[in-house]
């Protein structure tokens, strides 16, 4: 019988090694290939997002009778479903087994990518994209759990860093790759690229990953998951359609209120359920709670910016998809370098790195909000600001994840990392919804509308930095990993 008040499962395994952990008699006989499979799943999950941002400006041409707010659901559908089902999907590992969850998720993601490429209408494309998000929600936490289970406790922090860096690599590869694919083969190719990658990853997983018997476990909170999904989806829908419905209309107010109520229901159930959709108990650690709040704000700013940037380049400067992808590549490449360097920073400097990183990204958005004009000015405005922002994004993404994990004991690493990804993706969903709302409210994708969007991104990034100021260490009595490390870094 599970201990009352403490959710059971791999993400919250008791103190000590996780089930199947590497060591004498471990079933993980190929930890290097397990690392490759784990990071590969994270890579394609986030590659599937980054390439779509580059393809997004091409969708209005393929579907000219569809509004920009509805087209934004190709991105929002993925992020909303991903964010809402992430925790519950991770808990399914305790019910069906890690290997089975991982392989089913990879196979499902690959199939959903093919359906996206073949979708003849926007509703079917949105539905297939949401299906992608559902299976990505299974891939990401199961890949992390597999990685942690294949490593001894003292190597898990480093493993999390490698796992997190794969998402940064996906962002760096996604911009030029997406631009090339759309330019050469059209927007369906950004979904088709996942098919061979997913097939190769599935074959590797079936060969490498061991079968580990799982004990009886409770099914994740289905009602809480549905409430979270519809709650976040309702808020995004209200933002996205508010301009069309009218900001004071009954549909807008009804959907907004319904989303807020359902989100509250999800939080209440998470506080009381034995296998909650959100592990709210982790938020009792202040440093962890602050990291999640900062990540949500930064995720909203970053994903709103990611959607606006290629669309500005295409709509205002008339860049081709390839040109737009190449224009964003310098920042993406610098982001990977900054991510690696930030991962090596001593623990005592983490708060400074996060605060400085958020402010660097705010500087980029601020420069674009003030300096971008209808006439292309790549060398003097776009490029230097993009490099500055890329440094900030790389520093924040890696350091906030490490800070959040370090605020918890080692046996809560997986739960903490999953919660951080959930916070970031909820912010992403709200950020993409806010982008569509602002563009619609400001009369369409004009220079003034984009500058307003970048100004809002600036404010959100500054708020994320101000929140990160409170990333101070917990008191020694909490027994977190940070405490035991002290000032060693």
In a domain, 23, yes or no: no
Contact 277, 266 (CB under 8 A): yes
**Residues 331 and 193 placed together within one structural domain of the fold:** no
Q: In the prediction, which pLDDT does 162 show?
A: 74
Same domain, yes or no: 86 and 166 = yes
- Cβ neighbours for 45, distance < 8 A, ≥ 6 positions apart: 109, 136, 139, 140, 167, 170
Domain count along the chain: 3
Same domain membership, residue 211 and residue 148 = yes
Report if residue 200 sits inside a domain: yes
pLDDT at 29: 65
Q: Which pLDDT does position 15 carry in this prediction?
A: 35
Q: Final residue of a domain: which of 276, 296, 323?
A: 276
Neighbours of 5 (CB within 10 A): 8
Q: Can you give the CATH number for the domain in which 110 is found? A: 1.20.1250.20
Which token pair is 461? 């990034």
297 and 262, same structural domain? no
Q: Do 435 and 450 form a contact (C-beta atoms < 8 A)?
A: no
Q: Classify the C-alpha dihedral 235-241-242-245 as positive or negative.
A: negative
In this predicted structure, what is the pLDDT of residue 381? 96
Last residue of a domain, one of 177, 192, 218: 218
| Residue 214 confidence (pLDDT) | 55
13 assigned to some structural domain: no
Residue that has been written with the tokens 């990071």 in this structure: 39
Give the residue numbers spanning the domain of 266. Answer: 221-276
Residue 65 to residue 352: CA distance in whole angstroms: 48
251 and 386 in one domain?
A: no
Per-residue pLDDT, 213: 58
Phi and psi at 30, nearest 5°, equal -125, 70
Same domain? For 192 and 101 the reply is yes
Would you say 226 and 259 are in contact if contact means Cβ atoms under 8 Å apart?
A: no
| pLDDT values of the chain reduced to their tens digit, one per residue, 489 residues | 333 333 333 333 333 444 445 554 456 667 778 888 888 998 898 887 788 888 888 898 889 888 888 888 998 888 889 888 887 776 777 678 788 889 999 999 999 999 999 999 999 999 999 999 999 988 888 888 788 777 776 776 677 767 777 877 787 778 888 888 998 899 999 999 999 999 999 999 998 887 765 555 677 788 998 999 899 999 998 988 888 888 889 999 999 999 999 999 999 999 988 888 888 888 888 999 999 999 999 999 999 999 899 999 999 999 998 899 899 999 988 988 888 888 778 888 889 999 999 999 999 999 999 999 999 999 999 999 999 999 999 899 888 877 887 787 766 766 677 788 888 888 988 998 899 899 988 988 899 999 999 999 999 999 999 999 999 875 554 444 444 444 444
Helix, coil or strand: residue 119: coil
3-state SS assignment for residue 267: helix
20 neighbors 26 (Cβ within 8 angstroms):
yes
Q: Are 447 and 267 in contact (CB under 8 A)?
A: no
Query: Are residues 397 and 248 located together in one domain of the fold?
Result: no
Indicate the helix (H) or strand (E) that contains 207.
helix 194-208
Residues 446, 387 share a domain: yes
Q: Are residues 140 and 236 in the same domain?
A: no
**CB atoms inside a 10 Å sphere around CB 359:** 19
Measure Cα distances from 87 to 93, 217, 224, 420 in Å: 11, 15, 11, 10
Q: Determine, yes or no, domain membership for 3.
A: no
Do 255 and 145 share a structural domain?
A: no
d(CA 1, CA 281): 20
155's CB contacts (< 8 A; 6+ apart) are: none
Tell me if 12 is assigned to some domain.
Answer: no
Determine, yes or no, domain membership for 16. Answer: no
Q: How far apart are CA 191 and CA 183, in angstroms?
A: 14
Q: What is the DSSP string of 437-468?
A: HHHHHTTSS-HHHHHHHHHHHHHHHHHHHHHH
> 199 and 60, same structural domain?
yes
What is the CB neighbour count within 10 angstroms for residue 162? 14
Taking 3-state DSSP, the helix, strand and coil percentages for the chain, each rounded to the nearest 5, stand at 80, 0, 20
Instruction: Tell me, yes or no, whether 264 and 362 share the same domain.
Output: no
Q: Is residue 464 part of a domain?
A: yes
- Show Cβ contacts of residue 119 under 8 Å, excluding neighbours closer than 6 positions: 125, 127, 128
Asked which of 187, 218, 249 is the last residue of a domain, the reply is: 218
- Give the pLDDT of residue 332: 87
Q: Does 10 reside within a domain?
A: no
Token pair recorded at residue 113:
């990518």
How is residue 394 written in tokens? Answer: 């790389």
């Amino acid at each position: 019988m599970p201990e009352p008040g403490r959710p059971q499962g791999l993400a919250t395994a008791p103190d000590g090694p996780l089930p199947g952990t590497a060591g004498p008699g471990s079933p993980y006989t190929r930890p290097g290939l397990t690392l490759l499979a784990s990071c590969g799943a994270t890579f394609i999950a986030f590659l599937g997002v980054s390439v779509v941002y580059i393809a997004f400006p091409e969708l209005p041409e393929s579907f000219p009778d569809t509004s920009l707010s509805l087209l934004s659901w190709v991105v929002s559908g993925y992020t909303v479903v991903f964010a809402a089902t992430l925790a519950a999907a991770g808990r399914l590992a305790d019910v069906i087994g890690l290997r089975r969850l991982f392989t089913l998720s990879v196979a499902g993601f690959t199939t959903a990518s093919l359906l996206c490429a073949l979708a003849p209408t926007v509703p079917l494309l949105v539905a297939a994209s949401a299906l992608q998000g559902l299976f990505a929600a299974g891939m990401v936490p199961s890949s992390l759990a597999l990685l942690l289970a294949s490593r001894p406790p003292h190597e898990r922090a480093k493993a999390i860093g490698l796992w997190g860096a794969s998402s940064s690599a996906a962002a760096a590869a996604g911009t030029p790759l997406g631009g090339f694919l759309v330019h050469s083969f059209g927007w369906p190719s950004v979904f088709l690229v996942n098919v061979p990658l997913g097939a190769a990853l599935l074959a590797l997983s079936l060969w490498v990953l061991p079968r580990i018997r799982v004990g009886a476990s409770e099914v994740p909170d289905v009602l809480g998951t549905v409430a979270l999904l519809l709650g976040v989806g309702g808020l995004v829908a209200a933002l996205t359609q508010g301009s069309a419905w009218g900001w004071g209309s009954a549909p807008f107010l009804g959907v907004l209120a319904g989303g807020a109520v359902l989100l509250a229901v999800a939080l209440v159930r998470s506080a009381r359920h034995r296998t909650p959709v959100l592990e709210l108990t982790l938020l009792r650690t202040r440093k962890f709670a602050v990291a999640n709040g900062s990540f949500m704000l930064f995720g909203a700013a970053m994903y709103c910016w990611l959607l606006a940037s290629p669309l500005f380049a295409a709509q205002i400067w008339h860049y081709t998809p390839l040109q737009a992808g190449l224009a964003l590549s310098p920042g993406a490449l610098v982001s990977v370098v900054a991510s690696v360097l930030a991962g090596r920073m001593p623990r005592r400097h983490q708060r400074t790195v996060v605060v400085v990183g958020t402010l660097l990204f705010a500087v980029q958005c601020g420069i674009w909000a003030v300096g971008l004009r209808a006439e292309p000015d790549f060398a003097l405005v776009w490029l230097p600001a993009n490099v500055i922002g890329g440094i900030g994004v790389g520093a924040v993404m890696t350091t906030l994840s490490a800070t959040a994990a370090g605020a918890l004991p080692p046996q809560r690493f997986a739960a903490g990392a999953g919660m951080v990804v959930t916070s970031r993706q909820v912010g992403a969903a709200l950020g993409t919804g806010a982008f569509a709302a602002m563009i619609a409210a400001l009369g369409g994708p004009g220079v003034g509308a984009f500058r307003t969007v970048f100004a809002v991104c600036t404010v959100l990034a500054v708020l994320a930095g101000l929140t990160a100021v409170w990333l101070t260490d917990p008191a020694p009595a909490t027994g977190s990993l940070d405490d035991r490390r002290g000032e060693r870094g």
